[in-house]
Amino acid sequence: MNYRVIKENNLFLLTDEQGDIVTDHSYGLGLYKNDTRYLSKLNVKINNEKPILLHSDGSENYMSTILSTNPHQEENGNLILWRESVEIERKRFIYDDVLYETIKTKNYFPKPVSFELNVEVDVDFNDMFIVRGFQTGNTGKRTGQKAEDQSLTFQYEGADDINRATKIQWGAKAKYVKENGEITFQVELQHEEEQSITFMIVPLENVETRDDILPVEEALQKLKASYKEWSVQLTKVETDYQPLQRLVDRGLSDLRVLLTDTGYGKFPVAGLPWFGVPFGRDSLIAALQMIAFQPEVAKGTLFTMASEQGTKVDPWRDEQPGKIMHEIRYGELANTDQIPFTPYYGTIDATPLFLVLLTEYVKWTGDLDTFHQFEDNVKRALEWIDQYGDRDGDLFVEYHQESSKGIANQGWKDSGDSIVHRNGDYADTPIALVEVQGYVYQAKRGLAAVYEALENNETASRLKAEAKNLQERFEQEFWMNDLEFYAIALDQNKEKVGTITSNPGHVLYSEMMSGNRAEKVSQTLTNASMFSGYGIRTMGKGEAGYNPMSYHDGSIWPHDNSMTLLGLSKLGFTEEAKKVMSGLIDASRHFEYDRLPELFCGYESTIGKAVKYPVACSPQAWAAGTPLVFIQSLLGLFPNSLTKEIHLNPILLDEMNRLTVHDITIGDGVLSLSLARKGDKVETTIIENSTGYDIVREKQTV
């Protein structure tokens, strides 16, 4: 990772490894809030020279520490600063939409030293879509700067009638402050003396100032307390297999920093640096991955998505009544309707995934009161599936881009080349994706079970019948006898898009496949064409569209693997599940901080290294959630509060001898259990079961 990123709620900072915001970087570095860059330059220098980087720690997403020192400085033969005399430590964190940065200088030279500490700042207030080069448009204008002894304010009048400002203030007297953003401090240090200056950088919208900014010590204390509270609420995992332990710990840490609350409860944004916003399928899938660890996140995600459910037909935004959004943006271009992200609804899978998450939430928690709050949303989502999603009445949900600035391919593989026939031709829309039919089937079956529990037998029977009809049509139209696999999609002409891809793996989780076809799919997904050794590829090696360096046509996405894992575990394909988990764990060793990235290249593991994809987001929510799915899959854990049962099918990876999981929230109680290898068996011990539910289908598997 050639950047450092920290985030808290709705504000994030993206810098280079030295902690600076520079212009010649491959990412659009800056301080961002509501898709607006509130800091476009931040350079720290000593006597107007760039320090020498010593250490840059990006392991903590909520706090960053950077160490540097001075270069050797002479002028006309006179010593100014001996090399490595001054240590410069920069610590930064975000709390309550304020960036705190403390710059501490310490003198290690035997004599007193004197130097200038220079801080250079600027703000362009650019919309994120402009920063990323995706869009140009009509924007506002800078309206000036105001320099004072201990503050500097930049102001902007937006084309969306929002007056934005960035106020930078600090707790020491500066030597001088210039309106162009130059702030200089004169520092005098005795031997081993240190001095600190704390900057507080505050984005403002339609207000001139804030009077509620906490002192740095109190803000940091509150931030740490919030992390401690988060940790206490989580399911706890302990294993002797340290690569897995590190992955789980890293995943939980990354997910915490990606949590945001827009007023409806905490939910995971898609990922950093570019997708720190509510994001239909990504947020829903990440919440689903987290459900065994923190089901309240699923609840917050559901309320957030329901708050923006479609109400009308609006081709500009690909909106229809009942549809769940794809992505919402808050910047100047969105606010002035120059881009359709207010929100944008061009996603085919978010609506059924919303229903899948809701039914899984009920199965895990038994929270029917919350389900009742969503009944109108459920009704409208089902109407969208049947009326707008199924464009031609063939029972399949398909997509077609209406918006001139929308997305052409509207499944999770949303790049322009991702739906490709075996002869290399791109499929034409409307397109019906294989995994989306599985989501719809799973949603209707799950809702039928909930309505049965509520004694609404008429609705339950109707949904079960609709699911059965969909399953029969699905088997007829998507199965490819010659390849013993399912097509990724049906195209505009209802022709099968027969390329071998990972998409049918998602359908395993829905339990939609009939006969022995699920077994055939599991075998294909883990054969040499699809499985690289590090994970399941998005497309099979040897297919016309295959490219191991591509975004969606041969790369490996951890979350994609995790959706398949849920199905493999649920259906009892334990050897295939173990193979996939072990491969991804091996891959994680090759990435910074043992973190699974958004995606990586699909090269064979025999080359000895997992190959990075050049612009993968990290941390990414559904990549961070993947190790949590490992734990659920190892336990084979699928509770059902509607039937008062907990289904278990425990296994251990070959590299493991022990796994203990404490405080899994199920219903009104918790489940704690441990797995231990005993010869060629796995012994399961139930430490606590306060749920009142029966444990069923338990079997011992190596």
> Which 3-state string (H, E, C) describes 418-436?
CCECCCCCECCCCEEEHHH
Q: Are residues 292 and 148 in the same domain?
A: no
Structure tokens given for 377 = 């949303």
- The CATH number given to whatever domain includes residue 540 is 1.50.10.10
Whether 18 and 87 share a structural domain: yes
Residue 253: inside a domain, yes or no?
A: yes
Tokens 């997708």 belong to 275
Number of domains in the chain: 2
Report if residue 687 sits inside a domain. Answer: no
Q: Which residues pair with 52 in a beta bridge?
A: 69
For residue 699, the model assigns a pLDDT of: 53
Which of the listed residues 647, 678, 694 is the one where a domain comes to its end? Answer: 647
- Are 372 and 421 part of one and the same domain? yes
344 and 211 in a common domain: no
Domain containing residue 47: CATH number: 2.70.98.40
Letter string b/e over residues 206-245, b meaning 16 or more CB atoms within 10 A of that residue's CB: eeeeeeebbebeebbeebeebeeebeeebbebebebebbb
Is 265 within the bounds of a domain?
yes
pLDDT at 700: 44
Q: 89: which 2 tokens?
A: 């430590």
In a domain, 615, yes or no: yes
Report if residue 417 sits inside a domain. yes
Residues of the chain with pLDDT under 70: 1, 698-702
pLDDT of residue 702: 36
Last residue of a domain, one of 175, 194, 222: 222
**Is position 567 within any domain?**
yes
Query: Are residues 493 and 416 part of one domain?
Result: yes
Q: Are residues 216 and 240 in the same domain?
A: no
Same domain, yes or no: 494 and 384: yes
661 within some domain = no
482 and 551 inside one domain = yes
Q: How far apart are CA 550 and CA 420, in angstroms?
A: 13
- pTM for the model stands at 0.95
Bridge-based pairing state of the strands 694-696 and 645-647: parallel
154 and 280 part of one domain: no
Residue 539 domain boundaries = 234-647
Q: Residue 296 domain-assigned?
A: yes
Both 495 and 554 in one domain: the answer is yes
Identify the bridge partners of residue 118 per DSSP, sorted by sequence position: 45, 184
Identify the domain boundary among 647, 675, 694.
Answer: 647
Verify that 159 and 255 share a domain, yes or no: no
pLDDT at position 62: 83
Residues 204 and 287 in one domain: no
